[in-house]
A and B are shown apart, each in its own frame.
Chain A
C-alpha cells in the first residue's frame, strides 16, 4: 500500500514537472508533437525506473559508512560526497542503453528525438529523482515505485502539453509569444491545474481504516 501511495504521489500530486519544475528543458523542447513526446516520455520512465534502484544500491552498499569499501579496507569511510558523480555515471550509461535500443527498434523516433535523447542524461528530473530518493530515505522497493511514478508523471505531463501545443498550432498567438513563450504559459496553467490534487494524502485514508 505504501508503494502505491508513493507511486500516486510522485505521479500526480508531486509531479516532477508541474510541481517541482524539474526536467523542463526536454519537456519544452520535445513537446511539439505527441509522437516524439510519447517516445521521450517512455524513455524517461525507463531511465528513471532503472537508475533509481541502481543508485540506491550504490548509495547503500558502496558509498555508505558500512558499505563494502569500508568493510574491505577496515576503515569506516563516508564516501557519499561521490554521489553526484556516480549517479550521473549510472544515468549516462542507462541513457546510452536506451539510445541503443531506440536506434535499433525505431530509427524514425531516434531521428525525431535527435539530441534530446542523449540529453536525458542531464535531465534534472532524473538526477533530482535520485537525490529526492536519498533525502527522503526510501527503501529499495520504494525507490523503484518512486522512479516509476515520477517517470509516469513526467510522461503524462509531456504528452498533455504536446497535445495542447498541437491543438494551438494554428491559433493566432501574438508574435512575441510564439513557440517557447506560449509553452511556458501553458506549463504554468497546467501547473495550476495539477494543484487540484495537492494535499491529498492517500496514506492518511488507509491509516484511518
Chain B
C-alpha cells in the first residue's frame, strides 16, 4: 500500500473538522478519479469530466508560462541594452523572469485556493477545481511588475463577488480571470496601463534610469552563476537611449502601422519578443495551444473561429472607413498585436461564461471579435479591447442562448 493509499484511508470527520475534510477530499479526488460510476440510464462514452477539462487547459498554458518567463527577462535586458540577442544569456533571462512570475503565481494560488477551500468548508460541499484554470490564467494576463497586494485584492474580489456569491464553480456569469484583471484595470489603472509597466526591473523608461535588482539577483543568483563562470546581473546597468517601452498597440494608436514598424518588426510581434502582459506575447505558442484544445475538444472551435471572423471583418470595415491612423492598420496586423489571440483562445472559450448553444457560440464569438476591435481602435480611454469585449459579451451570453433556444422551439412547433 503506497503512501497515497494510506492517505485515502484516513478520512477526517466532516462535521468536526470541515476544513480538514475539504482538504482531504480535494487532494484525494485530485489524485484519484472520483469512484462513482453511472449505474443506470444513459451512459457517457467518454469520461470527460471537469477535472480533465481543467487540467488540459492548464497543460496548454505551460508553453505560455515558459515563454512568459523568458520574455520578461528578454524585455528587461533589451531595455538596459545587454545581451540583446534572443539566445544570449538565457540563464539570466529565465532566472530573472522566474523570480517575477513565481510570486504572482504563488499569491494568486494561495489567495484563490485558500478562499475556495474556506468557502467549501463553510458551505459544506467538496472542493471544486474551478480555480485551477483561473489561477493559471491570472498571472499570464498581468504586467510583470504588478504589486502583489493589488493582485491579492483583485483575486479576492473576483473569487468572492464573481464566483462564490453565485454558488461556486460553474455558476459565475463573468470570467473569473478577466474579472480579476478588470478589477485591477479600474481600481489601479496606473499599474496596468501606459508604457511604464510592461518592462520590468527598471526604475523608469527614460534613458539613464537604473536597473532594479534585489538581493535575490545580486546575492543569490549572481553567487550561483559566478560558480559556473556565467555572465552576471550588472547592477550598474542603465536604460539605453531610444528605448520607449511602448507596446505595439500604444504606437499604433499614435501613428498607425508606420509608427509600430519604427520600433518592432512584424516577425518580432508574431514570435513574441515585445513588451506586454506575461503570457500574451508569443503567437505561435498560443496557436499551438489552440490546436491542442480544439483537437482534444476542450475548447469550442466555433467561438474561436467566430471571434477571428468578427475581428477580421471589423478590421476590414475600419480599413475602408480609415479616418484615424489606427483604422488603417491592415487586418492581419490587428490580429497579431495585443492580446487578441490569447483572449480568443483562452478567455472567450470559457465554457461557463460563453454561450452554450451551437448557434449562440457563433453569435457570441463574432460579436466579441467586432466589439474588441471597436474598443481597441476607437475608444481613446482603453488601449486594448479584448478583456472588455469578452466581459461585455459574458453579460449577454445567457440572453443569446435564450433567444437561440426560443427560435428553435418555434421552428420545431411549426414543423410538428
Q: Write the residues of chain A forming the contact surface with B, with a CB cutoff of 8 angstroms.
A: 34, 159-160, 163-164, 166-168, 171-174, 177, 182, 185-186, 188-190, 192-201, 205, 208-209
Q: Please give, as numbers and ranges, the residues of chain A lying within 8 Å of B27 by CB-CB distance.
A: none
Query: Which residue of A166, A172, A189 is within 8 Å of B162 (Cβ)?
Result: A189
Q: Please give, as numbers and ranges, the residues of chain B lying within 8 Å of A195 by CB-CB distance.
A: 186, 388
Query: Which residue of B164, B324, B395 is within 8 Å of A193 (Cβ)?
Result: B395
Smallest CB–CB gap between B321 and chain A, Å? Answer: 8
Q: Does A159 lie within 8 Å of B399, measured CB to CB?
A: yes
The reply to whether the CB of B168 lies closer than 8 angstroms to some CB of chain A is: yes
Q: Does B167 lie within 8 Å of A199, measured CB to CB?
A: no
Smallest CB–CB gap between A78 and chain B, Å? Answer: 39
Nearest residue (CB) in A for B168 is: A172
Chain B 355-373 against A: per-residue CB contact (8 Å), 1 yes, 0 no? 0000000000000000100
Q: Does B171 lie within 8 Å of A168, measured CB to CB?
A: yes
Nearest residue (CB) in B for A173 is: B167
Smallest CB–CB gap between A189 and chain B, Å? Answer: 6
Q: Does A196 lie within 8 Å of B396, measured CB to CB?
A: no
Q: Does A196 lie within 8 Å of B375, measured CB to CB?
A: yes
Q: Does A199 lie within 8 Å of B392, measured CB to CB?
A: no
Q: Please give, as numbers and ranges, the residues of chain B lying within 8 Å of A192 by CB-CB distance.
A: 182, 186, 391
Q: Please give, as numbers and ranges, the residues of chain A lying within 8 Å of B382 by CB-CB distance.
A: 196, 199
Smallest CB–CB gap between B187 and chain A, Å? Answer: 10
Smallest CB–CB gap between A125 and chain B, Å? Answer: 19
The reply to whether the CB of B54 lies closer than 8 angstroms to some CB of chain A is: no
Q: Does A209 lie within 8 Å of B323, measured CB to CB?
A: yes
Q: Does A205 lie within 8 Å of B378, measured CB to CB?
A: yes
The reply to whether the CB of B165 lies closer than 8 angstroms to some CB of chain A is: yes
Interface contacts beyond A167-B398, A188-B161: sample of 16 additional A-B pairs, CB < 8 Å, sorted by A: A160-B399, A167-B173, A168-B167, A171-B166, A172-B167, A189-B179, A194-B395, A196-B391, A196-B392, A197-B379, A198-B381, A200-B375, A200-B378, A200-B379, A205-B378, A209-B323
Taking CB atoms and an 8 Å cut-off, the chain B residues in 196-251 that contact chain A are: none
Alpha-carbon distance A168/B163, docked complex (angstroms): 12
The reply to whether the CB of B41 lies closer than 8 angstroms to some CB of chain A is: no
Q: Does B165 lie within 8 Å of A34, measured CB to CB?
A: no
Q: Does A208 lie within 8 Å of B402, measured CB to CB?
A: no
Residue in B179, B324, B396 whose Cβ sees the most chain A Cβ within 10 Å: B396
Taking CB atoms and an 8 Å cut-off, the chain B residues in 156-177 that contact chain A are: 161-162, 164-168, 171, 173-174
| Minimum-distance CB pairs A-B, first 9 | A199-B381, A196-B388, A172-B167, A163-B398, A171-B167, A163-B399, A171-B171, A167-B398, A209-B323
Query: Which residue of A160, A172, A190 is within 8 Å of B171 (Cβ)?
Result: A172
Alpha-carbon distance A205/B378, docked complex (angstroms): 8
Q: Does A168 lie within 8 Å of B375, measured CB to CB?
A: no
Q: Please give, as numbers and ranges, the residues of chain A lying within 8 Å of B182 by CB-CB distance.
A: 192
The reply to whether the CB of B15 lies closer than 8 angstroms to some CB of chain A is: no
Smallest CB–CB gap between B373 and chain A, Å? Answer: 13
Alpha-carbon distance A168/B392, docked complex (angstroms): 18
Question: Do A160 and B396 contact each other (CB < 8 Å), given the known contacts A168-B171, A205-B323?
Answer: yes
The reply to whether the CB of B34 lies closer than 8 angstroms to some CB of chain A is: no
The reply to whether the CB of B385 lies closer than 8 angstroms to some CB of chain A is: yes
Q: Does A34 lie within 8 Å of B402, measured CB to CB?
A: yes
Nearest residue (CB) in A for B394 is: A193
Alpha-carbon distance A182/B161, docked complex (angstroms): 10
Alpha-carbon distance A143/B161, docked complex (angstroms): 38
Q: Please give, as numbers and ranges, the residues of chain B lying within 8 Å of A205 by CB-CB distance.
A: 323-324, 378
The reply to whether the CB of B412 lies closer than 8 angstroms to some CB of chain A is: no
Q: Does A174 lie within 8 Å of B123, measured CB to CB?
A: yes
Q: Please give, as numbers and ranges, the residues of chain A lying within 8 Å of B381 by CB-CB distance.
A: 198-200
Taking CB atoms and an 8 Å cut-off, the chain B residues in 81-110 that contact chain A are: none
Smallest CB–CB gap between B258 and chain A, Å? Answer: 18
Q: Please give, as numbers and ranges, the residues of chain B lying within 8 Å of A166 by CB-CB distance.
A: 398, 402
The reply to whether the CB of B389 lies closer than 8 angstroms to some CB of chain A is: yes
Q: Does B395 lie within 8 Å of A190, measured CB to CB?
A: yes
Smallest CB–CB gap between B174 and chain A, Å? Answer: 6
Alpha-carbon distance A208/B166, docked complex (angstroms): 45
Residue in B168, B378, B382, B395 whose Cβ sees the most chain A Cβ within 10 Å: B395
17 A/B residue pairs, CB under 8 Å, sorted by A: A159-B399, A160-B399, A171-B166, A172-B168, A182-B166, A188-B161, A189-B161, A189-B174, A193-B392, A193-B395, A195-B388, A196-B371, A196-B391, A197-B392, A199-B380, A200-B378, A201-B380
Chain B 17-36 against A: per-residue CB contact (8 Å), 1 yes, 0 no? 00000000000000000000
Alpha-carbon distance A99/B174, docked complex (angstroms): 36
Q: Please give, as numbers and ranges, the residues of chain A lying within 8 Å of B402 by CB-CB distance.
A: 34, 163, 166
Nearest residue (CB) in A for B381 is: A199
Query: Which residue of B167, B186, B375 is within 8 Å of A197 (Cβ)?
Result: B375
Q: Does B391 lie within 8 Å of A177, measured CB to CB?
A: no
Q: Does B165 lie within 8 Å of A185, measured CB to CB?
A: yes
Smallest CB–CB gap between B147 and chain A, Å? Answer: 21
Q: Does B174 lie within 8 Å of A193, measured CB to CB?
A: yes
Q: Does A168 lie within 8 Å of B378, measured CB to CB?
A: no
Question: Do A164 and B379 contact each other (CB < 8 Å), given the known contacts A172-B167, A192-B182, A196-B388?
Answer: no
Q: Please give, as numbers and ranges, the residues of chain A lying within 8 Å of B165 by CB-CB distance.
A: 173-174, 177, 182, 185
Alpha-carbon distance A166/B164, docked complex (angstroms): 18
Nearest residue (CB) in A for B174 is: A189
Nearest residue (CB) in A for B380 is: A199
Smallest CB–CB gap between B397 and chain A, Å? Answer: 8
Q: Please give, as numbers and ranges, the residues of chain B lying within 8 Å of A209 by CB-CB distance.
A: 323
Q: Does B392 lie within 8 Å of A173, measured CB to CB?
A: no
Nearest residue (CB) in A for B371 is: A196
Smallest CB–CB gap between B235 and chain A, Å? Answer: 42
Smallest CB–CB gap between A112 and chain B, Å? Answer: 17
